[in-house]
Every structure is written in structure tokens, then in C-alpha cells.
Amino acid sequence: MKQKTFLSRKNLTLRKRLVLVDGFSGSGKSLICSILSHLPDAEQWQMDYFYEKISVLNYLHKLQFKSAKALCEVMSDENIYNLFIGRNVNFRASDISSPLRNELKEKYLTRLKKPDKVTAIREILKTNPILILHIHYIFGYSKFLIDVFWDNLKLYLIVLRNPFYLIDYWYSTYLSPKRDKKNPDFFQYILIKKKLIPWYTREYSNVYLKANDFEKSIMVVTELYKRIIKMFNKLNAQEKKRVKVIFFEEFLKSPQNDVDLIKKKLNVKTDKKFNDFYKKTIKRSKKTNFKNNQINFESFQKKYSKDLTPKYKKIIMKMDKLYTKFYKENI
């Protein structure tokens, strides 16, 4: 019998502490990531879609786990190494994932002058840095990244926001509807009945294809939240120690408990630089978010009363009960 061959990184991965920050678009992940990036030994958070793509391929049974694990391990090593030598760092001032927007400009400009390879790897092995990966929609569909990074995974943060705010956000900002060559995006799609639809709609593709854009928005958010809650409740005790749900609205009101838990899990102590950035960022975010109209279950029904059919009204009522229960259990 021919022996199967797999990719492997056994005993080759660099030391690093990994933090995954997952959730729906618009849920507040970037705020959390920016704060985490100022922890001692932390690196600028990375919005790298590679990990999402690999996770989706694994979810669709198109990529074998052992090889996928090796790819993720080598990619995370490359992320850390490149950050330490200032390579591929995002210096677009207008981009939220750039250190220029995160007051970390000098840190990465200084690294451009350092000799690479040996010096960088020595620093990595000595400091055991914190790599923060910003991802979308994975938890709830797959625990692939938990299994892949288990040895180095210190924390998997799931950022949840009121689902009715997110449905409104998804629908009103046209994240769900049509995309074409004139309005491209970089989502991953699957081909069902000669139609391109988002990968995460596979299991309800028949209903999704028949729905209008408003109904699709409800469907996408409610299905993800149902799956997140189901997967979280099925985690074993050891896995739950590394997975933390952050309710965004509560985090803005009273962030210290969550920050203290994160510090404990990562075994770090904060300094004045972190505290100054953290307080300033929370203050600014409170002003922005609480100034904007915050959609909840009641205001959502009122806003979309003419669009809600009995079927979808029933769906959002169930979602409200499920989310409220989960919130009370995990706040």
C-alpha cells in the first residue's frame, strides 16, 4: 500500500503566544485587537485572510487536516518573523489594521533598520511574542483553528454584538447583496445551482437562494449566532478555558473585567503606555458607538415592520430569546 504523505512542521514552529479574535463583520473586533496590540510583547494585529481560507477549505472537506495544520503553522511563523523585521507591515495610514492608526508607527519603522534572520529569530525565541489574528465567521462553523493552534493558543476571543444591530448593519451597508466585477469583494463563494453564494450558506443554500436581500441578511446573522452558541456549549472544559466571549456593548460600558482576564490568560502586566492608549481608545469608541443609533430587537421590528413577513418575524423572535439566554449565562 502506498504511504500517504502530509505536510508537517513538527518541532520547527517558532515560540509565540496566539490570540484569535473572531466574529461577525462590524462586531467590534478591530477595537479589541487594537487594545491587545499594546500589551507588552504583543505585535500589531493581523487581518490575514489566509487562516479563514484554510479553515473554509477544511470545513468543505477539501483539505486534509495534517497538511492544513502545517500550512497554518508555517504561515503564523512567517507572520511573526515578518513583523520582527518590518517586512509586509501595513503602512497605509487610512487602514484600520495599520500600526500608523494604532500608535505603533515607531516600533515598526525602527525594525526596518535591523538586520534580519538570525537577530530576529533570536528575539522571537527570547520574547515569545503575542500574535493577534483577526478573523471572520469561523467559530460556529468549525473549531479547526482551535485544533490547529492548540499548543500555542492562549485565547480565542469571540466578539458578539446585538444581532439586530448586525442585521441592520449588514443589510444597510450592502455587505450581503450583489457583487460583480465592478463591485468586487474577496469573500469565498461556492457554486450552487449555477449561482455564487457565500461559503457559510451551504447548509441553507436552497432557502438563501430564494430569499431577498433583507431576508438574506437576517438569515446570515441568525444562522451564525445559532452556530456560535451551539459550538460554544459543546466545547469541553479545557477548550472553554481558552475561549472567551466578549459582548461588545458591555465591553464598552465596563471593559476592565475582560481586560484583566485577557492579561491573566496571557500572563502579562500592563504598563503606562498600554493604560494610556486603552483609556483613550475606549473613551473615543464610547463616544462614537453610543452616539450612533443602536439597533435592538424592539427598534429593529419598528424600523423594518413593512419588510418583516410572519416567517422572518418568527425567526428573529427565536433569535432574540436564544441570544438573551446565552448573554445572561455568559456575561
Domain ranges of the chain: 17-330
Confidence of residue 164 (pLDDT cuts 50, 70, 90): very high
CA gap 207, 53 in Å, rounded: 24
Which residues are CB-neighbours of 112 under 8 A, at least 6 positions away? 85, 86
Amino acid residing at 147: D
Q: What is the per-residue pLDDT for 172?
A: 85
133 phi and psi angles, rounded to 5 deg: -110, 125
Tens digit of each residue's pLDDT (9 = 90 or more) over 19-32: 999 999 999 999 99
- Closest by CA to 231, choosing from 138, 96, 140, is 140
Instruction: Give the position of cell 484600520.
Output: 96
Residues paired with residue 244 on neighbouring β-strands, in sequence order: 157
Q: In this model, does residue 116 exceed pLDDT 80?
A: no
Q: What is the mean pLDDT of the chain?
A: 91
What mean pLDDT do residues 140-147 have?
95
CA gap 23, 239 in Å, rounded: 18
Highest mean pLDDT: which range of 63-67, 173-177, 300-304: 300-304
**Regarding beta strands 189-192 and 195-198, do their DSSP bridges make them parallel or antiparallel, or are they unpaired?**
antiparallel
Q: Considering the entire predicted model, what is its pTM?
A: 0.93
How much of the chain, in percent, has pLDDT values that exceed 90?
A: 73
Q: In this model, does residue 146 exceed pLDDT 90?
A: yes
CATH topology of domain 17-330: Rossmann fold (3.40.50)
Q: In this model, does residue 151 exceed pLDDT 80?
A: yes
DSSP state of 41: T
- Expressed in angstroms, the distance from the first to the final Cα of the chain is 53
- 3-state class percentages of the chain: helix first, strand second, coil last, to nearest 5: 55, 10, 35
